[in-house]
C-alpha cells in the first residue's frame, strides 16, 4: 500500500493543495498497477517526492525494502532538492517563442497527457485504475463522453495530434480536466430506446445540475417473497463492495472449514469477474470494469440487468448465497447489463 510522509510545513497556496491532491490520486493509480504486477509474481518498489512529501509505493516486498532503507529515501530527497535549486524558483526554463522543442521532449509530453487521459477515463468509470481511452469511439460519438476543462478553442483528440504548447497547457492545468460519461457509445447493434441518462462516476467533476443521478440498476423481484434475508441488504451501506466478507456457516473441522472458505472466495471472484465483464460491455468497452455496487444497489432506475436466474436479486457477490452464485455462473451467457 502507498505510504505517505506528510510534511509539517504549511501549504503555500490553493494551487499547491490541488496539485498535491492530483499527485496523491496518481500515486493511488500507480499502487493499483503494482498490485496487478504482484499477481504476476513481479516485485516493484517506487519512491516519489512532491515538495516535502515522500511517497513509497510498490508490492509488499518492494515497500518493505524501501522502508528499511531510510538512507535511500534521504539520498533521493536530497538529489531532488539539489536539482530544484539549480533552476530559478525551482521551475524548468520555458522555450522561447518559435524555438523548436526536441522530439524526445514532445514525445514525453504526449505520453504524460495520454496517461492522464487514461486516469480521467478510469475515474469516470468509477475506478482508480488506468483505463485505455477509446479515442476513435469518443471522436465518432462525441455526446457519449464529454471532456471538460480543456482550453477554449481546443477540442479533445488523441495526444499525437496536439502541439507541444497545448500539451504543456493540459499538464499544467490537468486538475480541472474531467471526463463525464453520459451514455454507452452508439453502435448498429445497440440503439438507444429513449433519452440518454448520465452515469455519475466516482470522483469525477460533475456539473451543478443533478438531473442525471448515479449509475443505477433495475433489479428483478424475488419469486419467494417470504425470504426475508434479502430485505436487509439495503440497510447495509457500509462495505457493500467488500468481497471478502464470509457470511456462511462452515464445518467445525478446521481443514474442512478452510476448504469451504476457499471455495466460497473463488465463487465470489468468479461472479465479480462476470459482473465486471458484463458492465464493461454495457458501457461500450471490451475489457472488465469495476462495478459500482453501492450506487447500483441504492439507486434503481438507470441500468437494467437481464438474464438473472429467477428469484436471484442483483447485489455485490459478498452478499450472495452460495446457491445464488452457482446459478448466476450457470446463467452467465444470458446475463446482460444495459445502461438506459
**What is the pTM (predicted TM-score) of this model?**
0.34
Q: What is the rounded distance in angstroms from the CA atom of residue 284 to the CA atom of residue 280?
A: 6
Residues forming beta bridges with residue 53, ordered by sequence position: 50
Query: Chain centroid to CA 272: how far?
Result: 16
224 vs 18 pLDDT, higher one: 18
In the predicted model, what is the mean pLDDT of residues 167-175?
85
pLDDT value at position 270?
92
> Is a pLDDT exceeding 70 seen at residue 255?
no
Reported for 10-17, long-range contacts at CB under 8 A and 24+ positions apart, including other chains, are 16/51
Interacting residues of 294 by C-beta distance below 8 A, sequence separation 6+:
237, 240, 241
Cβ-in-10-Å burial (0-12, 13-18, 19+) of 67 comes to: middle
> Is a pLDDT exceeding 70 seen at residue 212?
no
Interacting residues of 338 by C-beta distance below 8 A, sequence separation 6+:
282, 303, 304, 305, 306
Would you state the cell numbers that stand for residue 211, as one nine-digit string? 438531473
> Is a pLDDT exceeding 70 seen at residue 103?
yes
Sketch out the chain's domains with CATH numbers: 3-90 (no CATH), 97-213 (3.90.1460.10), 229-339 (3.90.1460.10)
> For the chain, first and last CA: distance in Å?
37
Output the average pLDDT for the chain: 73
pLDDT value at position 17?
67
Q: What is the rounded distance in angstroms from the CA atom of residue 34 to the CA atom of residue 32?
A: 5
Amino acid at each position: 500500500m502507498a505510504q505517505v510522509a506528510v510534511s509539517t510545513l504549511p501549504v503555500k497556496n490553493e494551487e499547491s493543495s490541488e496539485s498535491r491532491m492530483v499527485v496523491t490520486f496518481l500515486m493511488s493509480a500507480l499502487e493499483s498497477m503494482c498490485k496487478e504486477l504482484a499477481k504476476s509474481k513481479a516485485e516493484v518498489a517506487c519512491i516519489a517526492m512532491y515538495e516535502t512529501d515522500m511517497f513509497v509505493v510498490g508490492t509488499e516486498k518492494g515497500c518493505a525494502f524501501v522502508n528499511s532503507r531510510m538512507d535511500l529515501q534521504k539520498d533521493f530527497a536530497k538529489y531532488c532538492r539539489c536539482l530544484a535549486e539549480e533552476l530559478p524558483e525551482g521551475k524548468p526554463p520555458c522555450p522561447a517563442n518559435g524555438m523548436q522543442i526536441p522530439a524526445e521532449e514532445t514525445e514525453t509530453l504526449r505520453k504524460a497527457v495520454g496517461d492522464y487521459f487514461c486516469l480521467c477515463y478510469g475515474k469516470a468509470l468509477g475506478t482508480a485504475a488506468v483505463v485505455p481511452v477509446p479515442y476513435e469511439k469518443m471522436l465518432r460519438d462525441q455526446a457519449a463522453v464529454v471532456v471538460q476543462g480543456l482550453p477554449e478553442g481546443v477540442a479533445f483528440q488523441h495526444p499525437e495530434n496536439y502541439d507541444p504548447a497545448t500539451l504543456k497547457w493540459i499538464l499544467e492545468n490537468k486538475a480541472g480536466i474531467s471526463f463525464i460519461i453520459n451514455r454507452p457509445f452508439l453502435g448498429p447493434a445497440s440503439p438507444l430506446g429513449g433519452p440518454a441518462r448520465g452515469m455519475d462516476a466516482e470522483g469525477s467533476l460533475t456539473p451543478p445540475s443533478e438531473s442525471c443521478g448515479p449509475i443505477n440498476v433495475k433489479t428483478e423481484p424475488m419469486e419467494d417473497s417470504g425470504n426475508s434475508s434479502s430485505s436487509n441488504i439495503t440497510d447495509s451501506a457500509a462495505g457493500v463492495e467488500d468481497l471478502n466478507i464470509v457470511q456462511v456457516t462452515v464445518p467445525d473441522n478446521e481443514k474442512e472449514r478452510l476448504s469451504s472458505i476457499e471455495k466460497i472466495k473463488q465463487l465470489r471472484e468468479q461472479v465479480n469477474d462476470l459482473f465486471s465483464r458484463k458492465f464493461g460491455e454495457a458501457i461500450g468497452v471490451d475489457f472488465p470494469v469495476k462495478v459500482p455496487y453501492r450506487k447500483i444497489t441504492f439507486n434503481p432506475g438507470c441500468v437494467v440487468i437481464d438474464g438473472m436466474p429467477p428469484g436471484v436479486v442483483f447485489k455485490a457477490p459478498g452478499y450472495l448465497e452460495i446457491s445464488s452464485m452457482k446459478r448466476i455462473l450457470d446463467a452467465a451467457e444470458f446475463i446482460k447489463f444495459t445502461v438506459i
